[in-house]
Amino acid sequence: MLAERVVEWTEKWKQQGLQQGLQQGLQEGLEKGLQQGIAQGEITLLRRQLTRRFGPLPEWVEQRIQQAPPEQLETWAERLLDAESLPAVFET
Residue 3 pLDDT greater than 80, yes or no: no
Phi, psi of 81, rounded to the nearest 5 degrees: -65, -30
DSSP letters along 4-65, please? HHHHHHHHHHHHHHHHHHHHHHHHHHHHHHHHHHHHHHHHHHHHHHHHHHH-SPPHHHHHHH
Radius of gyration (Cα) for the chain, nearest Å?
25
Q: What pTM was estimated for this model as a whole? A: 0.71
Per residue in 31-79, pLDDT (tens digit) is: 888 888 888 989 999 999 999 999 999 999 999 999 999 999 999 999 9
